[in-house]
Structure 1
Amino acid sequence: MPLLLAGHRCVGRCRAGADSGPCGSTRRAGWFVSRVLAGGGLLRLRAALTAWLWGQNSRLVLWLPVALAGGVIAYFALPTEPGGVVVAGGVLACLASLACRLLWPHRLAVRLGAGVVGMGAAGLLLAWGQAGRMPPFPDLPRRAVHLSGQVSGVEVQRLADGTQALRVALRGVRLDNGISIGMPPLRRWLSVRLQADDPARPMPGDGLRVRALLSPPAFPDIPGGYDAQRRAWFAGQAGHGRALDPATITPARVGGGVAGWLAGRRHILAERIRTALPGTRGDIAATVLVGADAVVAAPERAAFADAGLAHLLAVAGLHLAIVIGLAMVGLRTGLALSERAALYWPCRQIAAVGALLAGAGYVALTGAHLPAQRSLLMAGLAVMALLAGRRPLSLRALAVAATVLMALNPEGVTELPLQMSVAAVMALIAGFDALRPALSGWEHDDVWLRRVAARLAHPLVASVLAGSACLPVGMAHFGTVQPWFVLANLLAVPLMSVWIMPWGLVALGLMPLGLEKLALVPMGWGLGVVTWLAHLVAGLPAARIGVPAINNAGLALFFVGLCWLCLWGGRVRLAGLAPIMLAVLSPWLVARPVIMLAPDGRMAGIVAESRLLTGPGPHPDPFVLREWQRVTGLPAGMLPAEGTAGQVACHAGVCRVGDIVLVLANRPPAPGLCRGARLLVNLPGTWGCDGVPSIGRFDLWRNGAYGIYRQPDGRLVVQTDRAVRGARPWVMRPGGAGLPNLPLAQAE
């Protein structure tokens, strides 16, 4: 009833005959209300809902990117690749939605239905088209092979023992092994890590020849886990390799083009920075100024991650925003010094365009990584909005940027960078819009203490909003929570903005004169403070808490709640807190796997006594163990060789978990081993139990990783990677076999 009365009062305040804008929306809402005031409860509810939706008329467009993302997610959730009927239906849905929107523009139900259906179908078609245009995975040789190709990228990788090695990206790779001789080059690129002591220093554009051991993209280590094959499929990657001999370099004839020149400059600048600032400070400075990847030592990266400061070591939105902001302030200040420019020139717009060009140069200098490219695109849209006289930072600008990003790379919806960026920016814009009246009132208050508090509240509120929005995303992708992230970011981000990056940009400007050390030394002071802060916060109690990872359904539920909280207006937006809380609590509401089996059959994990026990052997695969810990959120341990650990009893290479028998060693069965067993997991796969379902090495080769769950009623549920992912283009055949690199027959 309050909504109905409010609708009548708003209609009375609008001018007669207004059919557009807020008054037009309110008049149409009041018309609906007046038609059904005498109706029943259902009609009144419908009228109230219609009036509320018309009141949210300006915000409905913000949900179009949400529907587009929903269509992309629906494509990836399909068990099989959509056929011609589904694709044709999607095209017809898009056309029908557009026609309905044009024919009945003022009907609310038509607008809502056409927007949701049309954008959802468009998202599905975009993802389908992106997946279909990618070339198939090649069948890589399983033995060492000589290969040659053209270098398209070089990065430094720090190994576990502290040494450094170069990792090169090769395109146009030709394999010199038997059947592949004389065949066309691979249509996908390869990532090859050179030997640590290899003196070769390749640059983009150079030719490279080396003997290497190749591997296809890895299968997921648990059903529903991280899918490296899907990521490699959309990235155009064929696999990765490890060099067995020193590489032979053929220098590019024309210098490798612009990419080669930039790579050479980047390498030279990184060496000069690390010479002026030795140690960790130089590694971090080279990372944020020229994009030197993986040069920061693993302990330092772990400390930054535990403190919630890992984003400072990745060139993305924060660093680009600082560079563009500093460039804009400098350009506008310089223009303001000229009386003629200040009076007659559009200084604000000129400074914005110049700052965007400076940001583009920074992105090119740091290697033009995909997260930096996305941030540059969003900055470009903000500058366009500024030139058009619109708000550069608004939910509409974010909606346009998200739509463009998803149209260019629909697979990014499932990846961490886009999820983090959208969640943080959406929370910042919506949060400051909601808090602006209170903050603005304190900023202009007569009491100086309130004015100071309002100024100090901005970085605190920004850290809380962005960190809280990214927290569930981090739980889903990393299985960790950093409770002290607000404290760390509250001090580190302002220091990065007002001290570290300004001195870094000055150092880049002084490098042609050879005076970069004058600016790098003060920059190093700030980096030393940030590093000290990272170690301090990482050493606090409960600085890094391992939690079970949020699954894909829980992550989708979180984004639904976040969008509801940020995109609607009024108190109804608070209803979005319910799905957010449910998504955060979902890892503890679903069953954990009792037993996990690696896809290669060499490792098994058992959840017992709030620990993850692995075997056989004392040296588990670190990548598999990290993924299992991410999913379970449990500390790792070893299966006992003899004895018990909670409900797990092991003897002579055989462990028993209730009615599940896990055989780790290739030994004959002991008498009575199969008594009472409901499932046999035999990794060697040499024998079985009569009448008992079994899982052996061949099953793992055929179906990938296994996850065994126990229901509350005691039933066992077995999940396999192949059943969860389905038959999709990026799901490789058993054993990682791809398509042979052979020319097609004339009929094909």
Structure 2
Amino acid sequence: MGQTVAAWLWGQHARFIVWLPVLLAAGIALYFALPWEPGGTWAFGMGMLVVASVTGRLLWGARLPVRMGCGVVGACAAGLLVAWGQAHRMPPFPDLPRRAVHLSGRVTGVDGQTLRDGTRVSRVGLADVRFLDGINIGMRPLRRQIMLRLRPDDPAVPVAGDTLSARALLAPPAFPAMPGGYDAQRRAWFGGLAGYGRALERVTSAHPRGPSGMAAWLRTLRQGLAQRIRTALPGPRGTIAATVLTGEDGVIDAETREAFADAGLAHLLAVAGLHLAIVMGLVMAVVRMGLALSEHAALFWPCRQIAGVAALLAGGGYVVLTGAHLPAQRSLIMAGLAVVALLAGRRPLSIRALAVAAAVLMVLAPEEVAELPLQMSMAAVMALVAGFDALRPVLSAWGHDVMWMRRVGARMARPLLASVLAGSACLPVGMAHFGTVQPWFVLANLLAVPLMSVWIMPWGLVSLLLMPLGAEKLALAPMGWGIGVVAWLAHLVAGLPVARVSVPAMGGGGLVLFFAGLCWLCLWAGRVRLLGALPVVLAVLSPWVGRMPVVLVAPDARMVGVVAGGQVLTGPGTHPDPFVLREWQRVTGLRAGLLPVEGRQGRVACRNGICRVAGQGGDIVLLLAARMPDAALCLGARVVVNLHGQAGCPGVGRVGRFDLWREGAYALYFRGGDGLEMRTDRATRGARPWVMRPGGAGMPDLPLAQAE
């Protein structure tokens, strides 16, 4: 039996290398899941473990247990070490002023933002920020950036490299809206952000006298191109064109974004692999056709290889122009490997190329393993490459069949299979990050993606070529026609029945289980790979197996939510925080509602600013108005949630305002029988570098002492 298993595993040894990024990701995910922060001694031990694994692999690699054990342990330890090093090289969060403050800083980038009311404002990234008031005079510049939103009526047009001065109100990155929810502080920690702010007055901007560097020049170029595109093509079509041609983010209005998301077309609004593939494909086709016009070049030059190199250069320029976002970087690395394979006479697209690209990205930015873009792109590309590898014999046989119907069917099946494979692989990832499912995504992509490939992007590239001549409108007009058709299609599909189905968000454990099954399906060889479908199915069903929270309390003590009657009922007041409510709805998959002012709704009953949530072992009492608990209120209470103070009932659990300040958001769960479980944000995330101190306090950035 042992020899049979060993022979079976040796048959897979040629594919062991493709598991390297999977094991790296496992180590990185383990680091982020730890409830405590490892120290330097622990990191040194992980480094020694990596060295020992490499040594064992080199010395005793002929032995299968050593070969596999060293590979698994070494890769996982390397992932842990890379994530630890990335986290500890980042500067600490500064302690931002809690009042309006005058500040100045260097503009690193400018993009647009469309508010929910349709108002468009500018958002500026500021580096080397100094505060100019009171005790902050003489302070060192911040080592992190501030993202500042300007006033809608501000006429200033800052560009990268400018020195900007403003009076602003600042805020640190927000705490999670519930334990285990989206961690904006972790995103800001690795993104180099100190916090966010909004200008209270019009800002002043001064242009630098000297050169400001290549990065600033690129940002200024991108900003100017986006402005010219929107001028030539006003309205939503212009904002979409600016997004796909320059990578401008945040300018598309919420209604359009929601329609594209509900139709499964949100990937068209983010520069990623699809757009890069279209650009490189067009350039490669044009260059190769141009070389074929010359008899000498067609006979004696390696036209295919020349076209591939030209396409890679064009793709690199497009990625740089659009801001070099992570999905585009991943696609560019894969494109580079494909061109190298083309030059070497090998198959351009393969699982090995994807594995190399994924490993490089994880080493450069390990924090992206926990974020949506990398997860979505890796799932989609892995499913596409593995799926077409498995179906290649059938598609090839049909493509060369004598029957014309099979040849046509083979050609039509390719875009359909691409939509099904990529969409199905991304669907569980969307469940985890958005709590939604779009059943009509195949229909929308079958029509929109070809239109983007053969009409919208070609005209967009032509418009970039015509800009030096000032004639970009000649190409932007037909590009806008195509964008209009795609937008109409998105709204049409989004209006279909059950176009957007809200589901409980998949937890971290379910997401890990899904990727484990997907990797087994795509990376293992033989029919045994079909066993990977089991963990995928279990992961998709996992949101309905876990327990639903009963009471949710926001970290700022301004909002409480009760899960009752198939809704998330919020209070006090009739205007809940939209960001907190959106996160609660994402996790629960339920509609939003308001707590009754008087009366009962489901298990919750409210009267005179007091709500009671019925439970077997006692009620959860919610004090929505400022008052002291009395004997009648404490009768039958199991937990008292006091949004206005710390007072509670004797011998009863309590969640007070100070508890929320210290521990962050709370979530209360009913357990079997009469049990009750309280989870807090701080206990869930643990003591990590990116977890800010209570109240969002950071490291004080005091001014330098006066020299004697």
TM-score normalised to structure 1 length: 0.92
Distance in structure 2 (CA, Å) of the matches to 1:566 and 1:293: 33
Structure 2 counterpart of 1:276 = 232
Cα drift, residue 712 of structure 1: 2.4
Distance in structure 2 (CA, Å) of the matches to 1:504 and 1:459: 22
Q: Deviations over 1:340-389 (max 9, x none)?
A: 22222222221111111111221222233333233222322222232233
Matched-pair contact (CA < 8 Å) for 2:111–2:223:
no
Matches within 5 A, 1:63-78: 63-78=19-34
Structure 2 counterpart of 1:662 = 622
Percent of pairs with identical residues = 70
Aligned with 1:532 (options 488, 508, 511): 488
Larger radius of gyration: 1
- Given the alignment of the two structures, is residue 122 of structure 1 paired with residue 122 of structure 2, yes or no? no
Structure 2 counterpart of 1:234 = 190
Distance in structure 2 (CA, Å) of the matches to 1:714 and 1:414: 36
Q: Deviations over 1:305-354 (max 9, x none)?
A: 11011111111211111101111111111112222222222222211111
Cα drift, residue 745 of structure 1: 9.6
* Length, aligned pairs only: 702
Matches within 5 A, 1:431-442: 431-442=387-398
Structure 2 counterpart of 1:298 = 254
Aligned with 1:739 (options 693, 699, 702): 699
Structure 2 counterpart of 1:716 = 676
Matches within 5 A, 1:27-176: 44=1, 46-176=2-132
Structure 2 counterpart of 1:599 = 555
Q: Deviations over 1:505-531 (max 9, x none)?
A: 112212222322222222122111101
Structure 1 counterpart of 2:543 = 587
Farther-moved stretch of structure 1 (345-354 vs 255-264) = 255-264
Distance in structure 2 (CA, Å) of the matches to 1:234 and 1:283: 28
Which residue identity is paired with 1:452? V
Structure 2 counterpart of 1:27 = none
Matches within 5 A, 1:540-559: 540-559=496-515
Matches within 5 A, 1:337-352: 337-352=293-308
SS of match in other structure, 1:673: helix
SS of match in other structure, 1:271: helix
Q: Deviations over 1:61-91 (max 9, x none)?
A: 1111111111111111111111233222211
Matches within 5 A, 1:429-468: 429-468=385-424
Matches within 5 A, 1:605-624: 605-624=561-580
Structure 1 counterpart of 2:590 = 634
Distance in structure 1 (CA, Å) of the matches to 2:32 and 2:250: 31
Q: Deviations over 1:403-428 (max 9, x none)?
A: 00000001110011110111000000
Higher RCO (C-alpha 8 Å, min separation 6)? 2
Which residue identity is paired with 1:441? A
Q: Deviations over 1:39-81 (max 9, x none)?
A: xxxxx2x222112111112111111111111111111111111
Which residue identity is paired with 2:685? R
Q: Deviations over 1:569-607 (max 9, x none)?
A: 111001101110111111100001100110011100000
Farther-moved stretch of structure 1 (340-349 vs 267-276) = 267-276
Structure 1 counterpart of 2:166 = 210
Distance in structure 2 (CA, Å) of the matches to 1:524 and 1:630: 33
Distance in structure 2 (CA, Å) of the matches to 1:113 and 1:259: 44
Matches within 5 A, 1:240-251: 240-251=196-207
Distance in structure 1 (CA, Å) of the matches to 2:523 and 2:331: 21
Which residue identity is paired with 2:669? Y
Cα drift, residue 179 of structure 1: 2.1
Structure 1 counterpart of 2:135 = 179
Matched-pair contact (CA < 8 Å) for 1:147–1:173:
yes
Which residue identity is paired with 1:455? R
Which residue identity is paired with 2:10? W
Unaligned runs of 5+ in 1: 1-43
- Given the alignment of the two structures, is residue 487 of structure 1 paired with residue 443 of structure 2, yes or no? yes
- Given the alignment of the two structures, is residue 365 of structure 1 paired with residue 327 of structure 2, yes or no? no
Distance in structure 2 (CA, Å) of the matches to 1:175 and 1:291: 31
Farther-moved stretch of structure 1 (349-358 vs 276-285) = 276-285
- Given the alignment of the two structures, is residue 384 of structure 1 paired with residue 303 of structure 2, yes or no? no
Which residue identity is paired with 1:705? A
Matched-pair contact (CA < 8 Å) for 1:666–1:686:
no
Aligned with 1:729 (options 684, 689, 695): 689
Cα drift, residue 497 of structure 1: 0.3
Distance in structure 1 (CA, Å) of the matches to 2:682 and 2:231: 50
Which residue identity is paired with 2:316? A
Which residue identity is paired with 1:617? G
Distance in structure 2 (CA, Å) of the matches to 1:467 and 1:309: 10
SS of match in other structure, 2:689: coil
Distance in structure 2 (CA, Å) of the matches to 1:380 and 1:189: 32
- Given the alignment of the two structures, is residue 695 of structure 1 paired with residue 655 of structure 2, yes or no? yes
Q: Relative to structure 1, is the Cα distance of residues 515 and 743 closer, same or farther in structure 2, using a 3 angstrom cutoff?
A: closer
Which residue identity is paired with 1:165? V
TM-score normalised to structure 2 length: 0.97
Distance in structure 1 (CA, Å) of the matches to 2:252 and 2:139: 40
Cα drift, residue 744 of structure 1: 8.7
Farther-moved stretch of structure 1 (59-68 vs 634-643) = 59-68
Distance in structure 2 (CA, Å) of the matches to 1:231 and 1:644: 40
Which residue identity is paired with 2:459? W
Cα drift, residue 686 of structure 1: 4.9
Q: CA RMSD in A?
A: 1.5
- Given the alignment of the two structures, is residue 678 of structure 1 paired with residue 634 of structure 2, yes or no? no
Which residue identity is paired with 1:666? A
Q: Relative to structure 1, is the Cα distance of residues 686 and 722 closer, same or farther in structure 2, using a 3 angstrom cutoff?
A: closer
Distance in structure 2 (CA, Å) of the matches to 1:397 and 1:745: 54
Matched-pair contact (CA < 8 Å) for 1:443–1:454:
yes
Which residue identity is paired with 1:501? M
Distance in structure 1 (CA, Å) of the matches to 2:95 and 2:20: 41
Cα drift, residue 255 of structure 1: 5.1
Distance in structure 2 (CA, Å) of the matches to 1:533 and 1:196: 31
SS of match in other structure, 1:590: coil
SS of match in other structure, 1:593: coil
Farther-moved stretch of structure 1 (731-740 vs 498-507) = 498-507
Matched-pair contact (CA < 8 Å) for 1:203–1:256:
no
Structure 2 counterpart of 1:327 = 283
